[in-house]
Amino acid sequence: MRILVVEDEPTLQAQLAEGTRAAGYVVDLADNGVDAHFMGDTESYDAVVLDLGLPQMDGISVLRKWRAAARVMPVLILTARDGWHEKVAGIDAGADDYLTKPFHMEELLARLRALIRRAGGHASAELVCGALTLDTRNSRATVAGKALALTSHEYRVLAYLMHHRDEIISRNDLVEHIYAQDFDRDSNTVEVFIGRLRKKLPPGLIETVRGLGYRLTTPPPP
C-alpha cells in the first residue's frame, strides 16, 4: 500500500515517514500544498495523511481541489489542538478522518488501516481469502494458520491483491502501489514477485488474466 504524507514541520514529517514505513507502507513525502496537490493529482495513493497548515497552498484547498477533480483516495487530516473549526472545514472539504496534534503513531496507523480497508469495502482488520489470512494490524500472512515468510515487496503485492480480491489488477496498478515515486520502477519485477508468491501460496489462488493482469480469486467454500 502506497501513501502520501504531507507535513511541513521537518521533525514531525520525519517521524511520520519513519512510523509509516516501519508499518510496511511505501511512502512519498511533500512539505507544501502545491507539491502535495500535484502528487495527489497525478500519482496513485491508497491513502493520504494531510496536515492542514501548509505553505504555498493550505491543506483544505488541496483537499477541495482533489475532490473537485474526483480524486477519491481516503484522506486523514492532521489538525491543531482546539482546532474544531478546522475539523469541520476539513470534513466538509472531503476528509475521511482527522487526528489532532499531538497524536500517538499507533493511533495514526490504526486509523490509516481502517481507512484503507474501508476504501476496499472490508470491515475487518483481518482479510481472508480461502485458507489465506492477512492481518493488516501486524502485516502477517498465514495459510491455514501457518505463517508465511514474505519479503517486504512480496507482502506489498499480496496486501494489494488481498485488498482488491476478485478484481483484475493490472501489472501497472501493482507497480503504482508497491513503489515510491522516486523508485526506479520496472514492471517486470512484478512478475518475479508474483512467481515467488505463487510458490508460497495454495495453488491457483493468484490467477493470470491474459493481457489484463492478475486476480486473487476467493475459492468456493468446500
User: Does 97 engage in binding with Ca ion (CB under 5 A)?
Assistant: no
The smaller minimum CB distance to Ca ion, of residues 54 and 114, is found at 54
Question: At its nearest, how many Å lie between Ca ion and the CB of residue 182?
Answer: 23
Cα three-residue angle 94-73-36, rounded to 5 degrees: 85
Q: Could you tell me the smallest distance in angstroms from the CB atom of residue 68 to Ca ion?
A: 23
- Choose between 24 and 53: whose C-beta lies nearer to Ca ion: 53
Q: CB of 101: closest distance to Ca ion in angstroms?
A: 9
The least CB distance from residue 59 to Ca ion, in Å, is 8
Rounded to 10 degrees, the C-alpha dihedral 115/23/172/194 comes to -120
Give min distance, CB of 75 to Ca ion, in A.
15
- Beta-carbon contacts of residue 212 (< 8 Å; ≥ 6 apart): 168, 170
Interhelix angle 84-92/59-68, nearest 10 degrees: 20
Query: Of residues 199-218, which lie at the interface with Ca ion (CB under 5 A)?
Result: none
**What does the alpha-carbon distance between residue 57 and residue 61 come to, in Å, rounded to a whole number?**
7
Contacting residue, 46, 51, 96, 154, with Ca ion by CB under 5 A: 51
Q: Give the number of residues written for the chain.
A: 222
If binding is defined by CB under 5 A, does position 8 make contact with Ca ion?
A: yes
Distance between CA atoms of 177 and 162, rounded to whole angstroms? 13
CA–CA gap between residue 201 and residue 194 (Å, rounded): 10
Among 24, 53, 94, 202, indicate the residue that binds Ca ion (CB under 5 A): 53
Residue 120 as a binder of Ca ion (CB under 5 A): the answer is no
Q: Write out the residues near Ca ion by the rule CB under 5 A.
A: 8, 51, 53
